Structure 1
Amino acid sequence: MIHSSSTAELADDLATASAPRKRSFWRALLAGPSGLIGLVIVAVLIFAALTAPVIAPYDPLRMAAGPRLDAPSTNYLMGTDDFGRDVLSRIIYGARLTLQIGVIAVGISLSCGLLLGLVAGYSSGWTERVLMRLVDVLFSFTEIVIALACLAIFGVGLTNAMIAIGIASIPFYARVTHSVVLVEKGKPYFEAAVAAGAGHLRLIFLHLLPNVVPTLIVIGTLGVSTAILAAAGLSFLGLGAQPPQPEWGFMLSSSRDLISRAPWMMIFPGLAIATTVLGFNLLGDGIREALDPRQTDR
């Protein structure tokens, strides 16, 4: 008769053997144009955020750094705004806020959604029904409605906007996690681990969580672009970033009355938002392809 410890080890070997041998993650990510282009765009954004004090030609908050509404030139590559601030410097510093928005908002929604989905999917019974019905109620509202409700409670501001966007996306991540957990619970390796007498923590952290994380990495990367767009939209409405913060959505909002006189004030922040969103979407697609079990070596 096989002892339970030996059977548990056998179940672990079965779980490992059931996952096909993938190509090197980085090699697979860089093999396709989506992953490569997305990685380059995100890397440039991170570089700009980390080195903003070095590469920005002017202080982004300094008024009268140049003539008011000066068109792009060799001195001011992206022109100046109505206060004489350098648009390029504000966009470079805005990369910091953009990354902060994406990381914090997705971090809140992903961690809370992962916890709810894991608990609901693993526990079953009344716990699953209560938690998932609560998620379904929240999921029936659009994310922007939940975010606006949170801002009505917390007040306006960039920090509150990030928290609101994170809370609004929790139901989505919880639903995805719950679905993946239910799929994994029905697989032979998990049933073997249960039959071997594996404890709850072992089942959750050794068997379920490693199989949930790859899916959440993909949707989390795509979720960053959604969070950036949502924050830009809230800032455009005056509910997110407040003056004089160099946030791209707020820069769009403050320049809308000057589009005919100084179109560069809207063009460059808009391009920055569009390029960043495109970069994270392409990176998410590249990660999905790299983690696809069908992308394997023979």
Structure 2
Amino acid sequence: MVPPATTAQPTAPSLTQTSLNKARRFFSALLRNPGSRIGLFLCLVLVFTALFAPLLAPHSPTELGVGRALTPPNAEFWFGTDEFGRDLLSRVIYGSRLTLKVGLIAVGISMTVGVLVGLVAGYAGGWLEAILMRTVDVLFSFTETLIALAAVAVLGPSLTNAMIAVGISSIPYYARITYGAVLVEKNKEYFKAAQALGAQHGRLLFRHILPNILSPIIVIATVGVSIAVLSASALSFLGLGAQPPSPEWGAILAAGRDYFKTAPWITTFPGVAIALTVLGFNLLGDGLREALDPQQRQ
């Protein structure tokens, strides 16, 4: 007896397959933009250089007398040497480590505190919202540079304190963006349904609201890295950030300004490195904004 033929039922795509499809669409949208491809390449070069600095650098970044002082770029010293005979290429390569560290830590501080303040203010409302957001408004009345200078003046000049200062100066931006996004999400049907079902405050905040407002925060954080790099370099240039003999790019610029006419390569190469880093993160941020925007992906 022949068994009756059975029709195959279509199976729903697995959760893993769905996640892979979303990731594929995201990277496709990200790489579609030529600017974001350039930005991603520059950021990857920075990360690669920072990770493999000991292998890429021909000399120690702080070793004195590797060559003659103020030697122009040549076959042996591609970026030349500084006033102490240190290899400038090695200092720029090792400086990428400090630059990446500054960007990530400063943005981590500002994003963590700012997002938490915006979440609590937008969700709680009432007097707590008034206190938190008026404090943010007061910080907005000062420029980032002024806030960073004040923080460094209190904490003292060092690279660590510069990272903390830059992180503090950017907190209002993350708080304001998060606050506005929370107010929008609170009025959506899914949030009201979760409230009606008796969801706890922590679940409402971190399970329902936060995942739905991450897109603008990620974009701002990417651009914020470039702002943090510029701010930290400016503080080091003023003598309030990294201290000698640290191979931080802003500190190298500060040391080379006295030799700008006789040895312009001391300021040229770290200046180009800062410019390319800022350009890379800005272009990547623009690409992420388009890739994370559903309307742009259509």
**Do these two structures clear the TM 0.5 threshold for a shared fold by scoring above it?**
yes
Aligned residue type for 2:159: L
Q: Is 2:193 the counterpart of 1:175?
A: no
Aligned residue type for 1:191: K
> What residue is the counterpart of 1:123 in the other structure?
124
Gap change, CA 1:239 and 1:86, over 3 Å in 2: same
> What residue is the counterpart of 1:225 in the other structure?
226
Aligned residue type for 2:178: T
Aligned residue type for 1:126: W
8 Å Cα contact 1:69-1:84 kept in structure 2: yes
**TM-score normalised per structure 2:** 0.91
Counterpart Cα distance in 1 of 2:219 and 2:260: 37
Alignment of 1:1-298 (within 5 A): 24-297=25-298
Counterpart Cα distance in 2 of 1:128 and 1:116: 9
Counterpart Cα distance in 1 of 2:246 and 2:227: 21
Aligned residue type for 1:128: E
SS at match of 1:295: helix
How far the C-alpha of 1:197 sits from its partner, in A, is 2.4
8 Å Cα contact 2:111-2:221 kept in structure 1: yes
8 Å Cα contact 2:39-2:279 kept in structure 1: yes
How far the C-alpha of 1:22 sits from its partner, in A, is 8.8
Counterpart Cα distance in 2 of 1:69 and 1:184: 59
Counterpart Cα distance in 1 of 2:129 and 2:202: 18
8 Å Cα contact 1:78-1:88 kept in structure 2: yes
How far the C-alpha of 1:196 sits from its partner, in A, is 2.5
How far the C-alpha of 1:74 sits from its partner, in A, is 0.7
Partner deviation per Cα, 1:168-213 (whole Å, 9 max, x = no partner): 1111111111011001111222122222322212211111000121
> What residue is the counterpart of 2:13 in the other structure?
none
RMSD: 1.2
How far the C-alpha of 1:293 sits from its partner, in A, is 1.5
Counterpart Cα distance in 1 of 2:83 and 2:24: 52
Partner deviation per Cα, 1:258-297 (whole Å, 9 max, x = no partner): 1111111111010000000000000111111110120335
How far the C-alpha of 1:229 sits from its partner, in A, is 0.2
8 Å Cα contact 1:122-1:181 kept in structure 2: yes
Counterpart Cα distance in 1 of 2:23 and 2:236: 42
Counterpart Cα distance in 2 of 1:40 and 1:22: 19
Counterpart Cα distance in 2 of 1:136 and 1:205: 25
Aligned pair count reads 277
Gap change, CA 1:23 and 1:291, over 3 Å in 2: farther
**TM-score normalised per structure 1:** 0.91
8 Å Cα contact 1:22-1:293 kept in structure 2: no
Partner deviation per Cα, 1:16-42 (whole Å, 9 max, x = no partner): xxxxx8972111111111211111000
How far the C-alpha of 1:214 sits from its partner, in A, is 1.4
Aligned residue type for 1:280: F
Aligned residue type for 1:136: D
Q: Which moved more, 1:202-211 or 1:189-198?
A: 189-198
Higher relative contact order (CA 8 A, sep 6+): 1
8 Å Cα contact 1:46-1:99 kept in structure 2: yes
8 Å Cα contact 1:23-1:296 kept in structure 2: no
How far the C-alpha of 1:99 sits from its partner, in A, is 0.2
Aligned residue type for 2:38: I
Larger Rg: 2
Partner deviation per Cα, 1:110-154 (whole Å, 9 max, x = no partner): 000011000000001111111111111111111111111111111
Aligned residue type for 2:83: D
8 Å Cα contact 2:290-2:297 kept in structure 1: no
8 Å Cα contact 1:32-1:286 kept in structure 2: yes
SS at match of 2:199: coil
Counterpart Cα distance in 1 of 2:235 and 2:149: 9
8 Å Cα contact 2:63-2:86 kept in structure 1: yes
8 Å Cα contact 1:102-1:224 kept in structure 2: yes
